Amino acid sequence: MDQKTIKGFKERLLQRKDEMVRAYGRSKAYGMAADEEGAQDLADKAANSYTKEFLFSLSATERQQLQLVEEALVRIEERRFGTCVSCKGEVERKRLEAVPWARHCLSCQEKQEQGLL
């Protein structure tokens, strides 16, 4: 993969990382605000509890995706970007365009989803 293409992927990954960090900050602030609200009755407390649980579940998924983005940035720096971490084959460019933090080629991704990897 040429350097111009890699630079484009790096910019997309850094932009995604920035978006995720900002979203995490907003979710955290909203969760803290929900804690501070003076819920008057049981229904309000239940609604606040549900909202906080929902925000925390989103942040767990986002944390995992943020980790994948950071790993992709490391692979760029180590000149391993676009190489499958399992078979060391090339990750398809269309796959990287859709999911720039992809760690596996399509074949290995399918194996991972089936629990074979």
Q: Report residue 45 as tokens.
A: 């407390």
Percent of the chain with pLDDT over 70: 73
What digits encode the pLDDT tens for the residues 24-50? 777 666 666 655 555 566 766 776 676
Q: Is the pTM of this model over 0.85?
A: no
Backbone angles phi, psi at 11, to 5 degrees: -65, -40
pLDDT score at 71: 96
| Domain boundaries, given as residue ranges, for the chain | 1-80, 82-117
What residues are paired with 60 via a beta bridge? none
16 or 56, which is more confident? Answer: 16
76 or 42, which is more confident? Answer: 76
- Nearest-angstrom CA–CA distance, 15 and 19: 6
Average of per-residue pLDDT values in the chain = 85
3-state secondary structure of 91: coil
